Amino acid sequence: MAFKIIASQCTACGACEFECPTAAIKFKNDTYIIDAKTCTECDGHFDTQQCAAVCPVPKTCVKA
Amino acid sequence: MSQQPFTISLDSLMTPIDFEAMKTAATSGGCSTSSCGSSAKPDDLDEATWDKIKDHPCYSEEAHHYFARMHVAVAPACNIQCNYCNRKYDCANESRPGVVSEKLTPDEARRKVITVANTVPQFSVLGIAGPGDACYDWKKSQATFAAIAREIPDVKLCISTNGLALPDRVDELANMNVDHVTITINMVDPEIGAKIYPWIYFNKKRYTGVEAATILHQRQMLGLEMLVARGILVKVNSVMIPGVNDEHLIEVNRWVKERGAFLHNVMPLISDPAHGTHFGLTGQRGPTAMELKALQDKLEGGAKLMRHCRQCRADAVGLLGDDRGQEFTLDQLPEAVVYDPSKRAAYREIVAEERGDHVRAKEKAIAAVKENAGDGHSILVAVATKGGGRINEHFGHAREFQVYEASTKGVAFVGHRRIDAYCMDGFGEDATLDATIAALEGVTHVLCAKVGDCPKDMLTAAGIEATDAYAYEYAETAISALYAATASDAGQTKAVA
């Protein structure tokens, strides 16, 4: 149960990093990466996944 | 050049700077009136407002001849999507909002700003203007401003925002002495907004359609009112999108004026399929220069209009219309930087004198034009300039023209036209001149420091009169003389007929 970021489409704007309620997103090698172990898909925090809701590029922050 | 009475050319300030020579020039040869020390403050502004805008090239048309801004791209995260924006786009040769070649951390921005302050004496304003939203990506904006305010306390701080997160940040902006905020407001009717904004991210949720535009509209108006209540000057930017919000911007102008916006800046939509924006890909066109001017003319009398906007890049550096950003990329910045205020201070001293002189010359010119306006004619004049409000650029080197209108109302700056430089390595290209002529639509005269016979003839054939007879004069002074000459022409034509 986790989300992932398609690195080739990521603009590295960083919005997902500070919206993530479990601090599962980190900047690494010019892109943002979601730690599958920490990602909860926002279950218990929000109705929708925050990273996907704020991501400016369609189909870039998706279910892993 | 030294024979001309008013030739303290500000471009000579680029490099190297010889302040002694400039001071000598400033105090000799016809500048005797400049020693009286009167300020350049327009009569219709109070002292407090004038103090805020007098060094800000975006808020004062008069200041933009002398002062430079720089933008730092430190806040790339955004909370809305606009149909004229593609977040993936990046190009060093493009000049338009949101385009940037490198994103900076707050510390990299600090090094860049200090390097620019040490190199560009005209530097007066630091802005955060995308890509992204300065209020939404707040921590990075805040860290950047705090560092600069500590090291260069007299730099004006300024941000651009879409307004959605603005109400949450107004108090912090006021505490940090940010006294200029630009809000991009493209609509006050959410039905129209839904055609411009596909979605917003607000209160941890993504909203779309009219619901999204309604929230955005309410937050923009709230943010505007909160800023005005705290005495922060607000500029409203509106993107003119033909067929979507062009006529509606008259309504937007009314709303923002009622709420105390200081300036309204109507900008043309930039739309090209190659940019990959929604509007670019769907064939939505931008307005022509004359369509833009017609709308701006309709808005006169409402909220004060800004006509000198260059829609600059989010990492622009320098005078408006002369981007020096490529000189200050990360790889060129020194590791350790120390601010040296001497260049900026010396420049300010000279500009204070020159500006007073310019304002008096301008007032005289406007009065003369009004006197000569008996026959009611008007002329649209394009001026080639490197800054300082003077005709001091060669026709072939100009990358833009500043356009003035002389009519019964006097002389007023009405906009600029961007072109590709005609003269490349000494060879003028016909194709480039065709584009220049097209860009000069509606213009009757071109004033420059120098123009060759060949381009001059081609312009004449296109109905545009180009001359270097007024080289190095103030634009308004030259236009006033030109207006008098064309008035008598018109009179003679009538007499002959």
Tell me the pLDDT tens digit for each residue of B395-449: 988 888 999 999 988 998 888 888 876 665 445 555 568 888 999 999 999 999 9
A13 contacts in B (CB within 8 Å)? 76-78, 87, 131-132, 137
Q: What is the pLDDT of residue B425?
A: 47
Q: What is the pTM of this model?
A: 0.80
Q: What is the pLDDT of residue B30?
A: 36
CATH class, domain A3-63, is alpha beta
Look at residue B35 and tell me if it is in a domain: no
Q: What is the pLDDT of residue B488?
A: 64
A57 contacts in B (CB within 8 Å)? 87-88
The last residue of one of the domains, among B315, B332, B349, is B332
Assess B204–A contact: CB distance below 8 Å, yes or no.
Answer: yes
Mean pLDDT by 10 residues, chain B (497 residues): 38 44 42 40 77 81 85 92 81 61 87 92 89 94 95 92 97 92 97 97 97 98 97 94 96 95 92 88 93 91 77 77 84 88 89 86 91 86 91 91 92 86 55 83 95 92 95 94 80 40
Length of chain A: 64
Is B242 found in the same domain as B124? yes
- Per-residue tokens: B385: 């300039």
The last residue of one of the domains, among B332, B356, B391, is B332
* Binary contact (A56, B79; C-beta < 8 A): no
DSSP, collapsed to helix, strand or coil, labels residue A51 as helix
A51 contacts in B (CB within 8 Å)? none
CA distance B250 to B236: 13
Within 10 angstroms of residue B30's Cβ, the number of other Cβ atoms is 11
Could you tell me which residues come within 8 angstroms of residue B43 by beta carbon, excluding any fewer than 6 positions away?
none
A6 contacts in B (CB within 8 Å)? none
Of B87, B204, B205, the CB nearest to A57: B87
- Per-residue tokens: B35: 């020693």
Cis-peptide into B131, omega within 30 deg: yes
Q: What is the pLDDT of residue B321?
A: 74
DSSP, collapsed to helix, strand or coil, labels residue A3 as strand
Per DSSP, A7 falls in state G
Assess B79–A contact: CB distance below 8 Å, yes or no.
Answer: yes
A interface test, pick of B80, B84, B88, B135 with most A CB neighbours within 10 Å: B88
Provide φ and ψ at B291, rounded to 5°. Answer: -65, -40
CA distance B343 to B337: 15
For residues B103 and B74, is the Cβ–Cβ distance under 8 A?
yes
CATH number of B167's domain: 3.20.20.70
* Binary contact (A48, B132; C-beta < 8 A): no
Task: Please count the residue pairs, one from chain A and one from chain B, whose beta carbons lie less than 8 angstroms apart.
Answer: 45
Q: What is the pLDDT of residue A55?
A: 96
Q: Is the ipTM of this complex over 0.90?
A: yes
**Which structural domain range is residue B380 located in?**
365-496
* Binary contact (A13, B136; C-beta < 8 A): no
pLDDT digits (tens, 9 = 90+) for A13-52: 999 999 999 999 999 888 899 999 999 999 999 999 999 9
Is B314 found in the same domain as B430? no
The H or E element containing residue A52 is helix A50-54
Assess B137–A contact: CB distance below 8 Å, yes or no.
Answer: yes
For residues A2 and A39, is the Cβ–Cβ distance under 8 A?
yes
CA distance B170 to B184: 16
- Within 341-380 of B, beta carbons closer than 8 Å to A belong to none
B132 contacts in A (CB within 8 Å)? 13
Look at residue B351 and tell me if it is in a domain: no
CA distance B183 to B235: 6
- Within 411-440 of B, beta carbons closer than 8 Å to A belong to none
Output the CA–CA distances (angstroms, integers) from residue B397 to B393, B400, B430, in the order listed: 7, 9, 15
Is B224 found in the same domain as B164? yes
B interface test, pick of A54, A57, A59, A60 with most B CB neighbours within 10 Å: A54
- Give the torsion sign (CA, B123, B306, B293, B279): positive
Instruction: Spell out which chain A residues touch chain B, with contact meaning CB-CB distance below 8 angstroms.
Output: 9, 11-15, 18-19, 46-48, 50, 53-54, 56-57
* Binary contact (A50, B132; C-beta < 8 A): no
Is B281 found in the same domain as B177? yes
CA distance B175 to B172: 5
Is B285 found in the same domain as B372? no
The closest of B368, B384, B383, B360 to B487, measured between CA atoms, is: B368
What Rg do the C-alpha atoms of chain B give, in angstroms?
A: 23
For residues B266 and B305, is the Cβ–Cβ distance under 8 A?
yes
A48 contacts in B (CB within 8 Å)? 204-206
Q: What is the pLDDT of residue B384?
A: 95
Q: Please tell me which residue of chain A has the smallest CA distance to B74.
A: A13
Q: Please tell me which residue of chain B has the smallest CA distance to A50.
A: B204
| Number of independent structural domains in chain B | 2
Assess B83–A contact: CB distance below 8 Å, yes or no.
Answer: no
The last residue of one of the domains, among B332, B356, B381, is B332
A19 contacts in B (CB within 8 Å)? 204
CATH number of B378's domain: 3.30.420.130
